[in-house]
Amino acid sequence: MSKVIELSSRLLRNPYPQTPKLCAAQTLPLKGESDFLAISQLPVGTTPVLLSFAEHYQLLVELLECLDQSGVLIETILMRMQMPAGGRMPKVFLHERVLMLQDIQAEEYILQREGKPYLVIEDNLVRHPLEAGNNSIHIRISATENCEKLVSLYSEKLLELGFGAIEKMAREGTA
C-alpha cells in the first residue's frame, strides 16, 4: 500500500504582487439587445479574482519545479485544467509525464489501484469574474519513497505565493 499525502490551501492574495500586470480587459462583441440580455444573465462569482491566466500558468510551472528540485521520482503528474485556458501553455505542460484533465478522479483511481507513484495538482483558482471557483488548491502526492522534502518544498512555495495556512492530511492509498 502506498501513502497519499494531501496539501490543501486557499489563495489569499496575488502571488506576484511586485510584477507589473498586462491589462487583460476584453470587451465582448455585444451588438444587439439579445447580446446584452444574455451577458446580463451570466452568473458573476463572489470569489475575488487574484491572478490572471498568465499568472496561473506561472504558478503551476513553479509547483512543477518543486517536484524536480525534490529528487522524488514520480512519472505521472495529473493537473486539473480549466477551460478556457487563456494563452499559450508553458512547454513543461507538454512533457510526457503531465496529463491535463478536467476531472482527474478516474485517472487517479487507476494509478492508485496499480500502485504507481503520482502527483496531483488540482486547483480552483479564479482567473476571470465569470469563472466558478473558490481559490483553493489541493496537491496530492502518492510515492513509495520518502517525500517529506517534496511536502516541505510545496508547503514553502504555497506560502510564498500567497496561500494561507497549509492543511496536511495523510492516508493510505487504495492499492
Q: Is 167 left (phi over 0), alpha (psi -120 to 50) or beta?
A: beta
- Are residues 50 and 13 in contact, defined by beta-carbon separation less than 8 angstroms? yes
- Are residues 45 and 132 in contact, defined by beta-carbon separation less than 8 angstroms? yes
Burial class (CB in 10 A: 0-12, 13-18, 19+), 106: exposed
pLDDT at residue 24 in the model = 63
pTM of the shown model? 0.88
Q: Which three cell numbers stand for residue 14?
A: 496575488
Per-residue pLDDT in tens (0 to 9) along the chain, 175 residues: 578 999 999 999 999 999 887 776 666 788 889 888 887 887 777 899 999 989 999 999 999 999 999 999 999 999 998 776 667 889 999 999 999 998 899 999 999 999 999 999 999 999 988 888 999 999 999 988 889 999 999 999 999 999 999 999 998 866 5
pLDDT at residue 128 in the model = 84
Listed in sequence order, the DSSP H helices in 27-142 are 33-40, 53-70, 105-114
- Are residues 109 and 174 in contact, defined by beta-carbon separation less than 8 angstroms? yes
pLDDT at residue 40 in the model = 80
Burial class (CB in 10 A: 0-12, 13-18, 19+), 102: exposed
Q: In angstroms, rounded to a whole number, what is the distance separating the alpha carbons of residues 88 and 117?
A: 29
